[in-house]
Structure 1
Amino acid sequence: MHVTDRPNAGRASAVLWRFGPMIYGPTVLFALGEGAIIPLLPVVAERLGADIALAALVASALVVGQLIGNLPAGWAVARLGERYTLAIAGALAIVGTMGMVFAVNVAMLASSVFVIGFCTAAFGLARHAFMTTRVPLAFRARALSLLGGTFRLGTFVGPFISAGLIALFGNITASIWFFTACLVATVLLVLIASDPEERLKADERARRITDAATSGATVDTGEPITGGVRTVERRGVFRTMWEYRAVLSRLGVAAASLSAVRSARQAVLPIWGVSLGLDAQTIAIVVGISGAIDFTLFYASGQVMDRFGRLWAALPSMILMGLGFLALAFTHDLPSSAMWFAMFAAVLGVGNGLSSGILLTLGADVAPRDNPAPFLGSWRTLSDAGGAAAPLLVAGLAAVSTLAIATGAMGVIGLAGALAFTRWVPRFVPRARPDSG
């Protein structure tokens, strides 16, 4: 029996504090390092000879790598386990950071960023599947919002660390070396700390023995038994996509639009700063302030979803980010363009913060309870496809028109996504579920 099957499995704070270091610790380290380099990707690309459109393409390699990494990550978690998957992903990410340090051209830089994005998928998928089956429904959104908050911590603190390192050493590569140190610490923590899955299995065995002793039932000793045993059929990702095509083609597409707007925020803000002629340290500070606002709202988003429903987090977020992109598109050539850039970066931070954990929570809500991993692989692949397409769309529109038009287009996608959430969230995710306890 999973934790989600037991309505009285414990208070939210008790469960989250118990598994916090094992569940959230490695993700925080990874996110801090990644957050330190994200604002600098266009700057590094520009120094290697890339124009604005090509710099956007380099930034998009991060989400493209994450998109492609979802399916291999699902396979690795199922066969190698969470611990070894995360350790291997951390080691591969170190290879990616070394490629960034020694990149001699844009192609080598883009390939290294792609590898880092590929490894990011392993961290996201492993934690998502674990918490889908192990966290009680009554505070699922808060737990998953906290998981989303760990990545927001990276986008909040990381750019400030990056700005400080650049000021201290006068070199952008200092931020990349910081990411490398975070990855080394991540791998060590994953390998040394106790495995949360094994700990939960041990706790569950102890609970069954206690319950059996109390009720006088026979205790499972682990000896072989005869007779039929019910097993759960394991489905592949592509078969799962077909079986759940209704929810994936509707609510999943809405989720992809949110992922697209989020990804566009990460890509547009640094490039917008570069197009205004701002230096790397200033861009990092502006993006860091946006991330700070984003980060402060992550747990509030979970509270809203648990108490009022998922739509109350998704809809305001999409409307705010859609309008924020549209308004930013008209400010590029204004006399105070740098001030407008900082202001709308803050607006986008508020919108993104209001949606913290919504994609994780919606995926957990509609996933099959017996074997959620293949569905979550499909769900994350679809949502990440939106995130991967957005920077490519920004790069393409910026190349054939202007960056302002590309930014406005992302605003339109945000408002369209708000309509999609309004239509499909009530259908697939009822506010009250029978097993909510």
Structure 2
Amino acid sequence: MVRASSVLWKFGPMVYLPTLLFSLGEGAVVPLIPVIAASRGATLASAGLIASALVVGQLCGNIPAGWLVSRVGERYTMVIAGVLSLIGVIAGALAPSLVVFTVAVFVVGMSAAAFGLARHAFMTTRVPLEFRARALSLLGGSFRAGMFVGPFLAAVLLAVFHTENAALWFFSVCLVALVLLVLFGPDPEAQAAAADREPAEVEDTGEAVSGSIPTVERAGVFRTMWRNRGVLSRLGLAAASLSAVRSARQVVLPLWGVSIGLDASSIALVVGVSGAIDFALFYASGQVMDRFGRLWAALPAMVLMGLGFLTLSLTHDADTRVLWFGMIAAVLGVGNGLSSGILLTLGADVAPQSEPAAFLGSWRTLTDAGGAVAPLLFSGIAAISSLAIGAAAMGAIGILGAVGFLRFIPRFVPRRPLP
């Protein structure tokens, strides 16, 4: 029987390491995008708009990325995405105007979508079902590690070179290493195809064998989307609510800390501890999903985050509001950590094996849209009412998402016996 550790180690150099390189560079650059824009003459409002071009690029890039992966394969899609990102980053560093810088940020966002979808599609077709969740949780953890460490590297680069462009050049170095690794390293697609051709004495369990994508007539991105409209409109919306609650956490906690009178260092400490808890639990999520089923990770994560936001909304004027803020931040970190890899795993579970990339483009567009809309929704509600009402709304989305998972995971992802 194939061991999980052997499969994960086999994919390390060509899947997890490129992911870490990309996320390290992106994590170093993302916090500085508004700063770079402001240093080049943008107002605070327009700097925020320029920063949002990254998310918009990811939203716009998912469906074209699904088409590209289905035509040229995962490996060459990663190479193309890496080269386009490199062009975007260099253009951003040398941009003569804010318009060029905005376009460069947008291109990096589109490339990030293509890079992420290529990895997701590859793992969907290559990793055996019995440890799919662990493999995808580790993929998500590789991304989180880079995004967690990246800002600290950016701080070191700023201290040494005294210019924000240093982070952009660091991202460029990461991208060059990534492209060279993917282009000249061992091809995991070829290895998997060779393994499929090797005769092996295995027990016939009746389960479908993960292997090469079958050569069938391609349905295309939009036809695949229409054929799978049922799962996308049900389980996909529940997944989008998880993405929404996740991204809301990154906005709600800093603003809440400011509103209750904490200084910047205290807020950073609380948010950092929450992020550390989140990162520490990423592999545990995969273990839970593989051993007990997807629902046992998705439901507790959504309930914890939903109730966490609802509880937070009641503590703004309490005498112990600072203590509550720290505890709720920790709870949200636990909930987010338990949800690591869920969106990747559920997408892989429900993707049609004949053409997973086309479906995953639609799936990732839905989840990315949830993450993009939530901060805007929270900010809008907070502007017309209060932060407490905005936090309560995020909590309600979390509870509704938990109900959606409870209803639709058993329907679309039937529980399978362990090997």
Deviation at residue 78 of structure 1 after TM alignment: 2.0
Whether 1:249 aligns to 2:205 is: no
Query: Identity percentage over the alignment?
Result: 66
Q: Distance in 1 between matches of 2:311 and 2:162?
A: 34
Among candidates 142, 158, 182, match of residue 134 of structure 2: 142
Q: Tell me, in whole angstroms, the C-alpha distance in 1 between the residues paired with 2:374 and 2:229.
A: 23
Aligned to 1:94, what secondary structure does the other structure show?
helix
- Kept in 1, the 8 Å contact 2:64–2:361? The answer is no
Change in CA separation of 1:86 and 1:242 when aligned onto 2, cut-off 3 Å = same
Letter in 1 for 2:132: R
Structure 2, unmatched stretches of 5+, are 202-213
For residues 36-72 of structure 1, the C-alpha deviation after alignment (integer angstroms, 9 at most, x for no partner) is 2333445555665544x66654444322211211111
Code of the aligned partner of 2:338: L
Residue of structure 2 equivalent to 1:431: 415
Unmatched segments (≥5 aa) in structure 1: 1-7, 212-229
Alpha carbons of structure 1 residues 163 and 292: separation in structure 2 relative to 1, 3 Å: farther
Letter in 2 for 1:318: M
Aligned to 1:151: 143
* Pairwise CA RMSD: 3.3
Give the Cα–Cα distance (whole angstroms) in 2 for the partners of residues 273 and 177 of structure 1. Answer: 33
1:245 and 1:427, CA in 2 relative to 1: closer, same or farther beyond 3 A? same
Q: Secondary structure at the match of 1:24?
A: helix
Aligned to 1:80: 72
Q: Tell me the matched-pair count.
A: 405
Counterpart Cα distance in 2 of 1:316 and 1:256: 16
Q: Of residues 116, 127, 132 in structure 2, which corresponds to 1:124?
A: 116
C-alpha displacement of 1:96: 3.0
Residue 302 of structure 1 deviates from its aligned partner by 0.4
Alignment of structure 1 residues 10-409 onto 2, 5 Å: 10-44=2-36, 48-51=41-44, 57-101=49-93, 109-205=101-197, 207-208=198-199, 232-268=216-252, 287-328=271-312, 344-397=328-381, 400=384, 405-409=389-393
SS in 2 for 1:389: helix
Distance 1:242 1:391, change over 3 A: same
Deviation at residue 366 of structure 1 after TM alignment: 1.5
What is the TM-score with the length of structure 1 in the denominator?
Answer: 0.81
Q: Are residues 334 and 168 of structure 1, via their aligned partners in 2, closer, same or farther at CA, if it must alter by over 3 Å?
A: farther
Query: C-alpha distance in 2, partners of 1:329/1:37?
Result: 32
- What amino acid is aligned across from residue 154 of structure 2 in structure 1? S
Range with bigger deviation, 383-392 or 129-138? 383-392
Q: 118-127 or 404-413: which moved more?
A: 404-413
Deviation at residue 274 of structure 1 after TM alignment: 8.1
Q: Deviations over 1:207-261 (max 9, x none)?
A: 04x78xxxxxxxxxxxxxxxxxx95231112212221222111111101111122
2:104 corresponds to which letter in structure 1?
S
Amino acid across the alignment from 2:133: A
| Structure 1 Cα separation of the partners of residues 47 and 332 of structure 2 | 21
TM-score by length of 2: 0.84
Q: Provide the rounded CA distance (Å) in 2 between the counterparts of 1:186 and 1:336.
A: 48
Preserved CA contact (<8 Å) 1:59 1:267: no
Which segment is superposed worse, 262-271 or 58-67?
A: 262-271
